[in-house]
Amino acid sequence: MAQEFQRQSHRSELEMPPPMAFPDTGLPEQEVLDGIRSRMATDPYEIEQNFGISYVGPPHAISERAAELAKGTIFVEWAREMFPGPYQLEKEAVRMMAAHFGAPEGVGFITSGGTESNMSALRLARDRAAKSRPEVVMPETAHFSFRLGAEVLGIRLREVPVDRDCRPDMKAVRRSINRNTIALVCSAPEGNLGILDPIGEFSDIAVETGLYLHVDGAFGGFILPFMRDLGRAVPDFDFRLPGVTSIMTDGHKLGMLPVATSFLIVRDAEIIRAIPTDRTHIHTLTSTKPGERAAVAWAVLRHLGRDGYREIYRCALEITALVATGIEAIPGLRLLTEPYITLVNFTSHELDVPSIYLELRQRGWGTTLGVFQGTPHIRLSIHPNRDEPHARQFLAALEESVAAVRARD
């Protein structure tokens, strides 16, 4: 079991099948499709029972029909004259998201995911500042894509510690700023516990210092404004704060869009002039993308509208609350934090948490095992298409898992 736990936490090891010849002759279609089926069958969880990965869940139903209409097309900056349709759909979707974030004049891109959005924002900040030894300041809880971006772009990261409530040390943020600093990064919310950084304070510092501020709204970008509509207290986190230069969100987290769809939105067109596209032709980090992706993003935003999204998130938050309450009712378990968005984290002071994770896994339920400041915990991400029976099934499996661990101790 210890080995299993270790494997779970060493995800970066490259696993490869034995060497395989490039096929000399083709196989009949049926045999090829069976080959795919047999490999897909090795996935341990039904999609509906995977609470571990945030974006496991079908995108909105209109996606398939929208994709059909754009089949085989592409969108790419340097060849937009060749396929103006998908390019226009991309840019209209971007404008809708910019308006959602409070900057109707905002410009931007559909990227391949949160990682590309974050890395593209770092590149923009670097090119804009044009300093010889660029540094970025961010809370240590920021997503690992910033570490990847810093490595690739030759940026030094200064990671600021967070306290037991996940709150970054804002004095340390200020102390970490020096003449090499090109940008500040914060999250709305960070993707582990789902806690918002004090974005207003980051914005104040950005205004004072003139630094670029990028907000990672991979998880929160879609849902947060609707939570406000639903009567929750949600502080400003987007362009409504004057210091925010860019914000990104993942359509494939809570946006009801397929993998890989993310939006990088920049406050205004003037800012992105810093990128030397005369040489690189591209503002982001990938080039040609399927036109289907732009069509689907446009279609889902246009089809759901604010009303549709609000209703979806009302349900998702209800299910989240149901799961959280259910967990609290199981003796031996406790919530690590009160859920803010659709992330639920729990731990135990008496039972072995990795064992609970494995028991759930054996029962076909996927969760994520994490450690926050020395406390092991289980993280659940409640996708908008989970319903009440489904949440109850999970809670029943969790209760059984806890009983099984207790019986062993």
CB crowding 64-82: b at 16 or more within 10 Å, else e = eebbeebeebbbbbeebee
Report the distance separating Cα 100 and Cα 111, nearest Å.
18
Among 49, 203, 245, 262, binds ligand PLP (CB under 6 A): 262
Report the distance separating Cα 184 and Cα 214, nearest Å.
6
Among 57, 59, 106, 114, binds ligand PLP (CB under 6 A): 114
First-to-final CA distance of the chain: 14
Nearer to ligand PLP, 57 or 113 (CB): 113
Q: Which span sits near ligand PLP by CB under 6 A: 109-117, 149-157, 199-207, 338-346? A: 109-117
Q: Which span sits near ligand PLP by CB under 6 A: 6-14, 147-155, 185-193, 230-238? A: 185-193
Among 49, 120, 181, 187, binds ligand PLP (CB under 6 A): 187
Six-digit token string for 288: 């040609």
CB of 234 to ligand PLP, least distance (A): 17
Nearer to ligand PLP, 165 or 278 (CB): 165
Amino acid (1-letter code) at residue 230: L
Nearer to ligand PLP, 95 or 147 (CB): 147
Nearer to ligand PLP, 123 or 402 (CB): 123
CB of 141 to ligand PLP, least distance (A): 9
Amino acid (1-letter code) at residue 111: T
Binding mask 200-229 for ligand PLP (x = CB under 6 A): ----------------x-xx----------
Report the distance separating Cα 164 and Cα 167, nearest Å.
7
Nearer to ligand PLP, 326 or 370 (CB): 370
Residues within the interface to ligand PLP (CB under 6 A): 113-115, 118, 143, 145, 187, 190-191, 216, 218-219, 250, 262
